[in-house]
Amino acid sequence: MSTIAFLNIGMHGHVNPTLPVVAELVRRGHRVTYHTSPAFRSEIEATGARVRLYPGGEQPLPDPPTPVTLLESLASTTVRLLPSVLDDLRRDRPDLIVHDASCLWGAVAARELGVPAASSFTTFAFGRHVPSPTGASWHLLAGAWAQPRSVRGYVRSRRELRRRFDARGLPLVDLLNIRQPLNLVYTSRAFQPAVEDFDASYRFVGPSIGARPADPSFEADRLHDPVLYASLGTVFGADPKLLRTFASALAPLGGTVIVSTGQSDPDALGPLPANVLPLRFVPQLEVLDRAALFVTHGGMNSVNEAMHAGVPMLVVPQGADQPMTAARVVELGAGLSLGTEDVAKGSVRALARRLLHEPGFRTAAAALKAAQHAAGGYRRAADELEQYVRGAGPDRPAVVAVDPSQRG
């Protein structure tokens, strides 16, 4: 059996898809370590992996999280974490390092130690027709011009990284798109845009959805069909007024309307129709299995889970890669999209009515459901990692696959 080290950034959307893969590898007898921040310790320990905590506690996102500030944060965090991470890895002696596509310190550690590496993409794979947020572009250049302090911090950190560690071959700026000879992408080929542009190093394994502990506080017998579900995720704080608009718009169309309030207190939504159930936390997979419609922010994990359940979506993007995800849902006919600035009770209700009553949306959602299930999920991801580590061998050096234009 092999020793496999996972390294990740401290965000639920990046950690959650890896957990079923880790649990499956442990079940198969592999020794798995996972480098993480304290907030994720209990979830990772539940998989059977051994947790290696980053020094210094949580790794907060920059505020605001623009491409330029993210670049500075990733580079400076890499310089700060690498000595401790390398010490842990030298003790653990992994046969394979699996790092998030934006976890620069994972890629550098693999090169520094000469260990084979695989990259984990929890968004779309990025390429010529699927632009990475940190890819070289006029948009990135404009952001750099507006945030010179972040640019100077990034340059200092990259210079320090190059001086102290083996950072050859890594992207010059595109740090959300660090590729390896094996790249796991947690969606299906059917959902990935321009999938024909990606070579065999990209394995579209589909959503990584494992068993989750039951929530005894959630009373499923209170639900009445049709169940309509609205959630704007946890990263972008949802305005209670926006959530109230969704609740009021959906109430006449549903038997039960579930509104996930996330960071907002459910009481902040004020009085609601009797069939609306506002909850801070929702067992999303269980609800999606019952739902006839999902109003979502368009985070890749939520969209993957909705497609896995075959649920049509109304996507209201809040930021990051969500507009791209929303556009793909609309392009494939599995839902509709609405800008936050255009949200009003009447517009939400009209679009929701279409999604519930026009059969084409459910037909498209059913086709995507079949593709998501056929991709293989976490078991396929574990298979790919096992095959890769057997083929790579412990003495094969890690090689980072990057475009020549991105070398630095």
Say whether pLDDT at 394 is over 60: no
How far apart are the C-alpha atoms of 237 and 220, rounded to whole Å? 26
Give the chain's end-to-end CA distance (angstroms, integer).
36
Which neighbouring-strand residues pair with 313?
Answer: 294, 335
402: confidence class by pLDDT, cuts 50, 70, 90: very low
How far apart are the C-alpha atoms of 343 and 348, rounded to whole Å? 6
Say whether pLDDT at 236 is over 60: no
User: β-pairing, 256-260 with 227-231?
Assistant: parallel
Structure tokens, 213: 């502990």
63: confidence class by pLDDT, cuts 50, 70, 90: low
Residues 6+ apart with CB under 8 A from 72: 62, 150, 151, 153, 154, 157
Which domains can be identified in the chain, with CATH numbers? 3-206+376-406 (3.40.50.2000), 220-373 (3.40.50.2000)
Pick the more confident residue, 234 or 397.
Answer: 234
Residue 392: predicted pLDDT:
66
Residue 265: predicted pLDDT:
83
Residues 204, 192 contacting (CB under 8 angstroms): yes
* Mean pLDDT of the 81-92 span: 97
Structure tokens, 292: 């006839």
Residues 349, 297 contacting (CB under 8 angstroms): no
- The HSE-up count of residue 165 (CA atoms within 13 Å, CB side) is 28
The DSSP string of 370-392 is HHHHHH-HHHHHHHHHHHHHHHH
Structure tokens, 335: 């839902």
Q: Please tell me whether the overall predicted TM-score, pTM, comes out greater than 0.75 for this model.
A: yes
Residue 60: predicted pLDDT:
75
